[in-house]
Structure 1
Amino acid sequence: MTTSKKPKGAGNLRSFLQLLKETKPPYGLLVLAVALSVISTLVSLVIPMFTKGLVDGFTLSSVSLPQIARIGGAFVAQTAAAGLSVYLLNYVGQNMVAGLRERLWRKQLLLPVSYYNDIRTGESVSRMTNDTGIIKTLVSEHAASLFTGLVSIVGSISVLFYLNWRMTLVLFTVLPLSALILVPLGRMMYKISKGMQDETASFTAVLSGVLSEIRLVKASGAERREYETGQKVIKNLLAYGIREGKVSAWITPLVSLVFMMLLVVIIGYGGVQVSSGALTAGELVAFILYLIQIIMPLTQLTTFFTQIQKAMGASERLMETLKHAEEQYEGDEVAEGVRLPITLENVSFGYKPGEPVLNNVSCSVTPGEVTAIVGPSGGGKTTLFSLLERFYEPQQGVIRLGGRPISDFSLRSWRGGIGYVSQESPLLAGTIADNLRYGLDREINLEEMRQAAAMAYADAFIDELPDGYDTEVGERGVKLSGGQRQRIAIARALLRDPKILMLDEATSSLDSKSEAVVQKALSNLMRGRTTIVIAHRLSTVVNADQILFMEKGEITGRGRHEELLHEHSLYREFAQQQLQAPEFRPEEKGGEEITGHGQNTGGGRRPAHPRVGSRIFEG
């Protein structure tokens, strides 16, 4: 067991040092800050010798102005050097933690979606704030104590050997004993602080999750349940805090005990030496002052040792995040204006080993047409969308645009050509204008926003708002209705001008009035674009150019509605269950239906007679 623990501790220290190195601190300022701390310590080593001379030859006539000036100058120099060192260390520490947080933030944005399947948002937030704060505290508040403490201890012991080597040897009877006690306590502190960091991350995750969904909590009457969950984490934090307090309660009194023991021994033994004439009173005073300059750094070193244990625990988690594989953004640009088919060739994928979600899926999406994906829940429809968005990579098989794998294209170029409208249509906290131009590289002026909003049938309600396009939508767009959020999402997609349109039941959660408006907006959005639709009800896709029926991760049928109705038994069963209901009878269809062909007419203005009751997106 011993051999397994040592490499781990060494590995933690290496991770910590590597993390500090990768933050690229301003080494010049760091060296200057440490040098000033060392200078301040060296000056403090001289002061007891001044005091010795003052005590041994203390008469009013012996106190000269130059002597007082030297002592005063030493104090001033020590104070100035220490103050400047503290400032520089804080400056370096703040810059290091800012650089570290910048790296972490960049990393969080470049990590694949799969990373966040297993990591709660609050844990990532805790790593960004709490763990980096621990490292900042170590650098800015405790780093100098390592160098100054060692200088003070070594310098003081050297001078003490010069003054009286016999009394100095007495120190070494007590110091090793204190080290044997304090080192195990430091190891205990490491384990406790690591557990404290994990619990803090868990608590942050609970807070983030509950407060971001506070409406669901209240609507479900789950306040008591969430209170008990939070209370449990708070109690765990309390337990770790109490354990940390117990260790601290041992460390501080032990250091004081060591100091008092040494002080009593030195004063007692030194008093005998003074009375016998072997030691002067000034030397005894200097000895006591040097003893203080040994004990105080020992306390600082103990604190440093405790803090570095915490920092190693924090750096271990941070390095795990920083070493995680990023998404690969390099690749060719997707050619502008090129309309090519999207082909899936024997694509297989699963979120967990041995649990495939997609199994040898092969299909082709013709440019400019509407392809619908239908089937029972859990069949892999949304996973297929995720693969097309390249949130995940196929474990087997390949997805091609034309004849080239889509992995050949840069992520920015590929995703820039896709417009995705989902049921939820998430919005970010900010204004309507912020959400409309979100993610776009080019500047979007108000006129462009108005045109996109008009085509998305969002201009009317936006103009009625007191602040118009500067209206705050609230967190996740809670100040807007579902239909309003959907129309803003469609306007945002229009501004992106995507070549590929992906719709995930974009109207299924809306009321009939909002649905009719959103359907008209989607009609504008679809023109001239390759469209892929996920549909849970067949009524929304009966007129698609191609329908893919998915079940248990496989495509078991493909063709138009009439073809599948005759050739696919499960599709026919779905049709009998859904389309024979009164609201879905063919003779009751109203308005002009959208078909895949014949819709590639472009058009940048709202049609004079918009299509109402479109069956492709009815739901």
Structure 2
Amino acid sequence: MSDAAQKPPSSLAIYLRLLSYVKPYVGLFMISIVGFAIFSSTQPMLGYMLKFFVDGLSNPDASLFAEVPWLSEVPWLANLRLLQAVPMLIVLIAIWQGIGSFLGNYFLARVSLGLVHDLRVALFNNLLILPNSYFDKHNSGHLISRITFNVTMVTGAATDAIKVVIREGMTVIFLFATLLWMNWKLTLVMVAILPVIGLMVSSSSRKFRKQSKKIQVAMGDVTHVASETIQGYRVVRSFGGEAYEQRRFLDSSLSNNDKQLRMTKTAAVYTPMLQMVIFTAMAVLMFLVLLMRGDASAGDLIAYITLAGMLPKPIRQLSEVSSTVQKGVAGAESIFEQLDEPVEVDTGSIERERVEGRLDVSNLSFRYPGCEQNVLDNISFSVESGQMVALVGRSGSGKSTLAGLIPRFYPHVEGRVLLDGVDVQDYRLRNLRRHIALVTQQVTLFNDTIANNIAYGDLSGAPLADIRRAAEAAYADEFISRMPDGYQTLVGENGVLLSGGQRQRLAIARALLKNSPLLILDEATSALDTESERHIQGALDEVMKGRTTLVIAHRLSTIEKADLILVMDQGHIVERGTHSELLALNGYYARLHARDFVEADDVSVGPNT
């Protein structure tokens, strides 16, 4: 990859890309610009009113438009005296300013909220189509922080920054135009300081962006620690981890606090330096006004000085907006990094309404992205439709990885995985996964009703009678019926209100309701007590009929019924055959069975807990 390709995008490029999300709201955006233009135009008007006020002190009966011949010829304007005109104009200018302020603020808020909503939705929807490897490399705390905190920083760049740039920028333009009209020679003196201001803004912008990136990472750490502690609060309390988690959260919070203070320190040093430059220019300007006053009236001079004195505030606000913009740019950069991530590969084109479930794996090798060593090495086996194959072996032997390649959670490069004679990579992803039901040891439930957790995703809207039949087959109906609201009972976050066995039975019921021709059970009965497992094993025996089943299990009762047992070790199939055949070999499986399965069987007949 070339250096140009590796070079990060500039702040301007990121900001322009961010503003491209404003396109759907361009009409509202234009109304807000008109509103801010109206508001900004009133600033020099109010300053210029001092000329009429000071001139009116010496001659309140003077005509307002005496110096404008073509207006003084209009009868009612010719009779308009400074005594009546100045108060009346101030009120009219205030009304005009209020109209502009409302149009600018309200419609820009609608634009910015729409923009942030669109970004947040795009970010979340993008998470749903990213490959598994992305979640392996990024912890959930940072991903959540990106959707919440980073998008909030973008809000500042999309609202406050744009508002300040438009409103204060137009104010500076209107003030400069008025000053040039009143005395262009003196005004050019003020223009001389603009390069100095530009240099200061450019220098500070780089610091603000760098510090904003560090703040994002630190905030992600805070969210990550808090999320882990909340999700694992039972482990924290069981093992006395409160003090450790307190220290961990304190360290991450202090780190975030320190980086926030560095950002504030940069702004605190930068703002007075900029003010010093601006007011030095003002001092020179006032000296020149006193020196070159000529025949200008007192009202002209006071109006000019007042208008010139109004310039530092919008210029300072324009310079300070750099920190807000850079925070937004840093937030947008991390958002766009995720949005630019390659999505889950789906080059398949084949869709089938139903498959028989015949599975053929040939010469399959696989390594995880970024790893040098194969997790699976030259795996080959075949399973006929309706057969059951069991994968056994020590932890880390590649069993779950092999099961995960069938629904294409990771793309394989070497070898083939065929479902009904078609490579799984040739199926459309959604169609492929529709034919596969997966139950893992780590059950995921949502903070919803029991019925909605069983009939989840593509199954939503299933009749309650079908949901009940699946629950009965999974031996879940007996505990569901005892709950206060039955199938409408809320299970809490990740099923926290249920026992481990109850959660596992709901997951099995979900797989049964899906009624897919290919069933993958990855330690699906590990969390069940003996009584529950006996009932579920009977249900699984029924549901496996006419359905290809891939089982990863340590329980003897499951393993011995398999049509084919594959014994895996370090990514290889070291033995294969039926339960009786493998015991007769008196090899790896026999030793594994004697050590692990018999122990598990002894535990299974112990007292229930």
Q: Normalization by structure 1: what TM-score?
A: 0.87
Do the aligned residues in 1 keep the contact of 2:355 with 2:420 (CA within 8 Å)? Answer: no
When structure 1 is superposed on structure 2, of 221-230 and 51-60 the one drifting more is: 51-60
Do the aligned residues in 1 keep the contact of 2:112 with 2:158 (CA within 8 Å)? Answer: yes
Matched, 1:305 2:322: yes
Q: 1:414 to 1:101 in 2, by over 3 A?
A: same
Q: 1:411 to 1:422 in 2, by over 3 A?
A: same
1:225 to 219, 241, 244: 244
Q: 1:13 to 1:397 in 2, by over 3 A?
A: farther
Q: For the residues of structure 2 that align with 1:9 and 1:305, how far apart are their CA atoms?
A: 19
Q: For the residues of structure 1 that align with 2:449 and 2:460, how far apart are their CA atoms?
A: 18
* Structure 2 partner of 1:609: none
* Structure 2 partner of 1:208: 227
Deviations 1:172-221 (A, max 9, x none): 45554444444323322221112111111121122112211111111121
Q: For the residues of structure 2 that align with 1:574 and 1:395, how far apart are their CA atoms?
A: 31
Superposition map of 1:93-104 within 5 A: 93-104=112-123
* Structure 1 partner of 2:79: none
* Structure 1 partner of 2:35: 36
Q: 1:448 to 1:54 in 2, by over 3 A?
A: same
* Structure 2 partner of 1:91: 110
Q: What's the offset of the Cα at 1:580?
A: 6.5
Q: 1:255 to 1:121 in 2, by over 3 A?
A: same
SS of match in other structure, 2:60: coil
Q: 1:241 to 1:577 in 2, by over 3 A?
A: closer
Matched, 1:431 2:449: yes
Do the aligned residues in 1 keep the contact of 2:35 with 2:100 (CA within 8 Å)? Answer: yes
SS of match in other structure, 2:448: coil
Q: 1:456 to 1:23 in 2, by over 3 A?
A: farther
When structure 1 is superposed on structure 2, of 189-198 and 86-95 the one drifting more is: 189-198
Matched, 1:110 2:109: no
Q: 1:245 to 1:225 in 2, by over 3 A?
A: same
Q: What's the offset of the Cα at 1:545?
A: 0.6
Q: For the residues of structure 2 that align with 1:418 and 1:23, how far apart are their CA atoms?
A: 41
1:348 to 365, 370, 389: 365
Q: 1:558 to 1:8 in 2, by over 3 A?
A: closer
Deviations 1:115-137 (A, max 9, x none): 10010111111111111111222
SS of match in other structure, 2:171: helix
Q: For the residues of structure 2 that align with 1:143 and 1:451, how far apart are their CA atoms?
A: 58
Q: What's the offset of the Cα at 1:519?
A: 2.1
User: Identity of paired residues, percent?
Assistant: 34
Matched, 1:462 2:480: yes
Do the aligned residues in 2 keep the contact of 1:490 with 1:525 (CA within 8 Å)? Answer: no
When structure 1 is superposed on structure 2, of 313-322 and 290-299 the one drifting more is: 290-299
* Structure 2 partner of 1:607: none
Do the aligned residues in 1 keep the contact of 2:43 with 2:175 (CA within 8 Å)? Answer: no
Q: For the residues of structure 2 that align with 1:7 and 1:173, how far apart are their CA atoms?
A: 38
SS of match in other structure, 1:238: helix
Q: For the residues of structure 1 that align with 2:600 and 2:526, how far apart are their CA atoms?
A: 18
Matched, 1:61 2:79: no
When structure 1 is superposed on structure 2, of 339-348 and 141-150 the one drifting more is: 141-150
Look up the equivalent residue of 1:16 and give its one-letter code: Y
SS of match in other structure, 2:457: coil
Cα RMSD, aligned residues only: 2.7
Q: For the residues of structure 2 that align with 1:436 and 1:19, how far apart are their CA atoms?
A: 40
* Structure 2 partner of 1:198: 217
* Structure 2 partner of 1:316: 333
Look up the equivalent residue of 1:457 and give its one-letter code: Y
Q: Normalization by structure 2: what TM-score?
A: 0.89
2:515 to 497, 502, 518: 497
Q: For the residues of structure 2 that align with 1:227 and 1:535, how far apart are their CA atoms?
A: 38
Deviations 1:35-66 (A, max 9, x none): 22123212323333333233224333232545
Q: For the residues of structure 2 that align with 1:52 and 1:572, how far apart are their CA atoms?
A: 103
Look up the equivalent residue of 1:345 and give its one-letter code: S
Superposition map of 1:428-577 within 5 A: 428-536=446-554, 538=556, 540-567=558-585, 569-577=587-595
Q: 1:20 to 1:342 in 2, by over 3 A?
A: farther
Do the aligned residues in 2 keep the contact of 1:546 with 1:560 (CA within 8 Å)? Answer: yes
SS of match in other structure, 1:110: coil
SS of match in other structure, 1:464: coil
Matched, 1:185 2:204: yes
* Structure 2 partner of 1:413: 431
Look up the equivalent residue of 1:532 and give its one-letter code: L
Q: For the residues of structure 1 that align with 2:8 and 2:460, how far apart are their CA atoms?
A: 50
SS of match in other structure, 1:92: helix
Do the aligned residues in 2 keep the contact of 1:457 with 1:518 (CA within 8 Å)? Answer: yes
Q: What's the offset of the Cα at 1:93?
A: 0.2
Number of positions where the alignment pairs a residue of Structure 1 with one of Structure 2 = 582
Q: For the residues of structure 1 that align with 2:152 and 2:545, how far apart are their CA atoms?
A: 52
Look up the equivalent residue of 2:304 and give its one-letter code: F
Do the aligned residues in 2 keep the contact of 1:331 with 1:409 (CA within 8 Å)? Answer: yes
* Structure 2 partner of 1:147: 166
Do the aligned residues in 1 keep the contact of 2:439 with 2:521 (CA within 8 Å)? Answer: yes
Q: For the residues of structure 2 that align with 1:237 and 1:202, how far apart are their CA atoms?
A: 8
